[in-house]
DNA sequence: AAGTTGATGCAACCGAGTTGCAAAGTTATT
DNA sequence: AATAACTTTGCAACTCGGTTGCATCAACTT
């Protein structure tokens, strides 16, 4: 009998190894996006490179998306089931300058932009910085 | 008699050294944003650290702004005279996936976002990826 | 001229990300 | 069941952009 995470991995064509299930579990427990270093610390003993490659695999298969919030370490968060990481799937991200957490504002789609003529669009990264609702003003 | 670049530096409260004038000159000649490594190559013989600190000084004094386009190297471009780098001063940036140039779309202001309640806004980074008008489709 | 301040140059360091390679584990073939 | 082929994992070592420490040099102040 297959676990939920097993199925979740398989629908994204990722072979469900023990390691991958564990990483997926950690990711699904997060309320904010997580860096490779953060992820490493969630495990007693796990190799950074294996986690790194696990995240790469997850990202390539659109199970997660990466967020470059300008802090110097890339964050990762689970995609929605239906997400294909196309421009229309994208949402705004928020980096709190107080608690340094990076949140997916999944309810806020990235606004569409009228590019100059003969520019084509492939992707948009929109990161808002400020103070989040959990932090004192 | 003072040069233009000298005046430009002084209005931003930057002491106009020879080095700084040269860097400002290079920056003002660019049609796209430039990285530290790029800048280094524009000079026969110049220390990376000096250029680095020059850029830092320029940025702190809002003569230039930095752009984290996700390529792993930060780019820099001149601010407009009146720019204070406040959210309302900000514009969209464009990274061409073909020619790898990063452009300031100074005509396209960053759209305003309705953040969730009790979130405050300090800054926005919006980078659009795609193919620019100079590159074949 | 001597003293103070800031700018510059060189070397060395840092950390996030990445690669190479061998060992371990998995799946397919005989 | 044994072998072969392929994938995943773990360790070490490396890359590269950015950064710091410190000595030297230049500019300005008294
Ligand atoms: Mn997200
Ligand atoms: Mn710009
Ligand atoms: Zn916060
Ligand atoms: Zn281009």
Average pLDDT, 10 consecutive residues per value, chain B (137 residues): 82 94 96 97 93 97 96 96 91 96 97 96 96 90
For residue B55, the surrounding DSSP H or E stretch is helix B48-60
* Nucleic acid strand C: bases within 7 A of protein CB: 6-12, 15-20, 26-27
Cβ of residue B49 lies below 7 Å from strand C: yes
B122 by DSSP, 3-state: which? strand
The tokens for B75 are 């780019």
Q: How far, in Å, is the centroid of ligand 1 from the Cα of A106?
A: 6
Q: State the pLDDT at residue A1.
A: 61
pLDDT exceeds cutoff 90 at A137: no
Q: 3-state DSSP call for residue B35? A: strand
When scoring A59, A94, A100, A113 by the number of chain B Cβ atoms within 10 A, the one with the most, hence best to mutate, is: A113
Whether A128 sits inside 8 A of B123 (CB atoms) is yes
Q: What is the pLDDT of residue B57?
A: 97
Q: Give the ligand whose atoms come closest to the C-alpha of residue B67.
A: 2
Q: Give first-to-last CA distance, chain B, whole Å.
A: 49
- Kindly report the pTM of this predicted structure: 0.92
Phi and psi of B112, rounded to 5°?
-80, 150
- Nucleotide nearest A48, from its CA to each C1': D10
What confidence tens digit (pLDDT) does each residue in B71-88 have?
999 999 999 999 999 989
Q: Which of B130, B120, B42, B38 has the alpha carbon at shortest distance from B87?
A: B120
**Token pair belonging to A33:** 């996006």
Question: What pLDDT was estimated at residue A8?
Answer: 92
- Is the shortest CB-to-strand distance from B24 to strand C under 7 Å? no
Give me the pLDDT at residue A3, please.
78
Residues in the 5 Å CB sphere of ion ligand 4: B 96, 98-99, 132, 135
Task: Kindly give the distance from the C-alpha atom of residue B105 to the centroid of ligand 2, in angstroms, as a whole number.
Answer: 7
Q: How many CB pairs under 8 A join A and B?
A: 94
CA atoms of A27 and A17, how far apart (whole Å)? 15
Mutate to test the interface with A, among B88, B115, B134, B136 (most CBs of A within 10 A): B115
Using alpha carbons, select from A103, A71, A30 the residue that is nearest to residue B118: A103
Question: DSSP for A47-110?
Answer: -HHHHHHHHHHHHHTTSEEEE--SSSS-EEEEPPTT----GGG-EEEEEETTT--EEEEEEEEP
Whether the Cβ atoms of residue A78 and residue A63 lie closer than 8 Å to each other:
yes
Which distant-in-sequence residues (6+ apart) come within 8 Å of B96 by Cβ?
A: B102, B103, B129, B130, B131, B132, B134, B135
Q: What is the distance between the alpha carbons of residues B61 and B55, in angstroms, rounded to a whole number?
A: 10
What is the CATH architecture assignment of A4-130? Orthogonal Bundle (1.10)
What is the rounded CA–CA span in Å between residue B81 and residue A114? 25
């Amino acid at each position: 009998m297959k676990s939920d995470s097993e199925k979740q991995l398989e629908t994204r064509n990722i072979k469900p190894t023990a390691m991958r299930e564990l990483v997926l579990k950690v990711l699904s427990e997060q309320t904010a996006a997580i860096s490779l270093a953060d992820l490493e610390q969630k495990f007693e003993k796990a190799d950074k490179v294996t986690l790194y490659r696990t995240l790469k695999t997850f990202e390539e298969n659109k199970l997660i998306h990466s967020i470059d919030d300008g802090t110097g370490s890339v964050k990762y968060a689970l995609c929605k089931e239906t997400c294909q990481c196309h421009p229309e799937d994208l949402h705004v991200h928020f980096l709190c300058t107080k608690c340094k957490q990076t949140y997916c504002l999944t309810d806020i789609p990235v606004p569409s932009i009228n590019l100059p003529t003969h520019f084509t669009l492939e992707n948009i990264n929109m990161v808002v910085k400020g103070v989040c609702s959990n932090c004192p003003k």
